[in-house]
Chains A and B, each alone.
Chain A
């Protein structure tokens, strides 16, 4: 820790704002009900305290929810004029905004992400997704999929724990806008904001069954995906599970979209504005504790500036404040679960074993909770596990290159293809590199930008289908 008279005093957000309840029920057919599964205990990863007990679904609950969604699809939602559907979505967007502070605190308690990120990124962007898609509901004939594109039916959606409410918005907003009804399974470790979202659906007067939320573990997701009453499956999560889902859905006629893992290359050329690049690198890998599928986890630096850049990078990373996620000054919060912390630790250890040089930020870590100090590996080779496997944590692997062509070859040397970054002042090189990179999202002189109007999604083993923008509607239309 840097001894400085200018240390920040703690600026904690009040946890009371979250309106945390001791127990949460699941949401089926417009009502909160108990589940048939063994209840989950949602844990605050920053303190390891149990936040609440959450109902969990069993197979019969999955069946009930799918039936409710089917009834709602047939009776109201698919037959309702688009203009009416739009108004429901606008209502939801507004309610998310109104309850934004509550949702942000709840999300931070449940997930461990810093309050400044849940407050300034997750929740506003979630609201923006509903607002954007609301406008599509009555304009689908103009989306370029024919004069009268039809919804698919009931969508089964499974989302991860890294952006619980935002991923929910990415899934539910386009599904509803296109006239589908949904059964959504939030992640086992972060179900709370989805259940508050269910309250918002009630407040918005959404017809029963249009949105159903079933907390549970992987078995609930598997049952949902395999349910014959589902017409569409949307999944965000690991590539491994994505492959299983693709196998399950094969031959069923269900439409499938997958947003899977990544191992993004963040490429810094020798003419890049270094201070800006350092900010982008930090944002790319330490945003959300690195729990981002499109995180810039492989830094590719041109050899001639590697030393200078690494020095600046370490100096900057040293200033990141790791700790209480509810503190408004915290930059890096808690790792979401003990299991994830173990995975990060194991992969980082493999970096040592394979001969990379580890540098760890000397920041103090809290005594309790799941934390991992920001870590930078240099001297990384392409064959090392830390250069090939998704770590999903605050661990950066640094590789070097000499020529632009080598940078592209190294960047594309992965089965993943979700995102990439380019840092250079040369416009023509940006456009060239963006063209050469096999990745669904390319950030040039910036990183980790998201917007409901901008399609997001991967190449190759990072999955297929897009979310956001006009392209994203295809996933929820029978076209």
Chain B
């Protein structure tokens, strides 16, 4: 018997890319940037999205909008629930990435992943209740049937939270989807890997291509292009630095974009059960009238 030991297996390193229109392209700019763990260990190079990637992502989101907005609420709910199912299968991977990204203990990271999956489930259950809760039959003073229904706002640009790399991310993306919008998401810059894995989940969980587009990169760089883009209907600036938010809101004014009000320097406590504010924020109430008579 030889005493030469089998060499330790060399891991297959991942190459991280963007997620646009259901595909995983490299950044058009060819740029990447290094991602480190909370302890400072090199983890990978992530794609560094550019202005052109923003435009491609918005075009993909616009193209996907009629299909997603037009899907039945039941269908959207099932697709969202499917995201939770696929996430469940990847719990360990998410936990590893969240632990590395946020410097959490394994147990804490598992709890965060569990909360993120539960958050998706919570919003999955909202899709077919939004109209009931936010809509109305209006008792107008006259012979008319008047009713109001909530509709998705359109393409939403989401600057995802910088600190909470997975729970924060799903907490801002899920309501946008549940309401029937499509979106372009800029992930946490320092902690993008859970977002990339979420992209892989989305790509394999019945979410039509283009409904969610995930860009790894910097909110400071991409946010202004999204805020001024005429084909973006709404902006969630949660992940933008506080001093940039006013500038984004000003840029958004040129197209009368809806901008989610975000206050303060600190991120919200994402572990708290959400209310429906984010569902309302990316919803338009449409009122339809018709005469009544014989």
Contacts and interface: CB of A to CB of B under 8 A. Distances in A.
A110 to B, nearest CB: 26
Contact of B233 (A243, A455, A460): A460
B284 A430 contact: no
Given A146-B275, A440-B285, A444-B289, A451 B138 contact: yes
Contact of B253 (A243, A454, A474): A243
A457 B250 CA distance: 22
A345 interface: no
Given A469-B138, A470-B136, A444 B286 contact: no
Interface stretch (A93-101, A177-185, A247-255): A247-255
A108 B289 CA distance: 28
A455 B146 CA distance: 10
A451 B140 contact: yes
A441 B136 contact: no
Given A440-B285, A444-B289, A455-B287, A469 B261 contact: no
B291 A445 contact: yes
B190 to A, nearest CB: 24
A143 to B, nearest CB: 11
A392 interface: no
Contacts of B258: 464
Interface in B266-294: 275, 277, 280, 284-291
Given A246-B256, A451-B146, A454-B146, A441 B287 contact: yes
B288 A434 contact: yes
29 contacts: A246-B249, A246-B252, A247-B250, A250-B250, A250-B252, A250-B253, A251-B245, A251-B250, A253-B263, A415-B255, A434-B286, A440-B286, A442-B286, A442-B288, A443-B288, A444-B288, A445-B291, A446-B291, A449-B289, A451-B142, A451-B146, A453-B138, A453-B140, A453-B146, A454-B140, A461-B255, A464-B256, A466-B285, A469-B138
Contacts of A242: 256
Given A146-B275, A454-B289, A260 B141 contact: no
A221 B140 CA distance: 33
Contacts of A243: 253-254, 256
A471 B148 contact: yes
A260 B287 contact: no
A73 interface: no
Nearest to B153: A459
A444 B287 contact: no
A244 B253 CA distance: 7
Contact of A253 (B250, B261, B288): B261
Interface string B64-99: 000000000000000000000000000000000000
Nearest to B263: A253
A433 to B, nearest CB: 10
Nearest to B253: A246
B288 A469 contact: no
Given A144-B133, A253-B263, A239 B277 contact: no
B139 interface: yes
B159 to A, nearest CB: 15
Contacts of A239: 256
Nearest 9 interchain pairs by C-beta? A251-B246, A250-B249, A246-B253, A451-B140, A454-B138, A250-B250, A247-B253, A453-B138, A461-B256
Contacts of B277: 479
B131 interface: no
B142 A449 contact: yes
Q: Of residues B139, B153, B252, B289, which shows the largest number of chain A Cβ atoms within 10 Å of its Cβ? A: B289
A449 B292 CA distance: 13
Nearest to B139: A453
Q: How large is the interface on B (under 10, 10 to 19, 20 to 34, 35 or more residues)?
A: 35 or more
Interface in B109-155: 133-134, 136, 138-142, 144, 146, 148, 153
Given A128-B141, A441-B288, A449-B140, 15 more contacts: A242-B256, A243-B253, A250-B259, A255-B261, A441-B286, A442-B287, A442-B288, A449-B142, A451-B138, A451-B142, A455-B287, A459-B284, A461-B256, A469-B287, A471-B285
Interface residues on A, range: 35 or more
Nearest to B244: A251
A463 interface: yes
A247 B250 CA distance: 5
B129 to A, nearest CB: 12
A439 interface: yes
A258 interface: yes
A90 interface: no
Given A255-B261, A479-B277, A260 B256 contact: yes
A454 B256 contact: no
A211 B99 CA distance: 55
B256 A457 contact: no
A446 B140 contact: no
The residue in B246, B277, B290 that gathers the most chain A C-beta atoms within 10 A of its C-beta is B290
Which of B141, B142, B255 has its CB near the most chain A CB atoms (within 10 A)? B141
Contact of A454 (B254, B287, B290): B287
Contacts of B142: 449, 451
Contacts of B280: 474
A456 interface: yes
Contact of B289 (A244, A249, A441): A441
Interface string A154-165: 000000000000
Contacts of A457: 285
Contacts of A253: 261, 263
B95 to A, nearest CB: 34
Contacts of A464: 256, 258
B52 to A, nearest CB: 24
Interface string A213-253: 00000000000000000000000000100111011011111
Contacts of A244: 253
A434 B290 CA distance: 11
Nearest to A258: B256
A442 B289 contact: yes
Given A441-B286, A455-B138, A250 B246 contact: yes
Nearest to B275: A146
A451 B145 CA distance: 12
Contacts of A456: 287
A117 B134 CA distance: 33
Contacts of B284: 440, 459
Q: Which of B139, B146, B277 has the most CB of A within 10 A?
A: B146
Nearest to B277: A479
Contact of A439 (B146, B286, B291): B286
A343 B287 CA distance: 31
Interface string B158-181: 000000000000000000000000
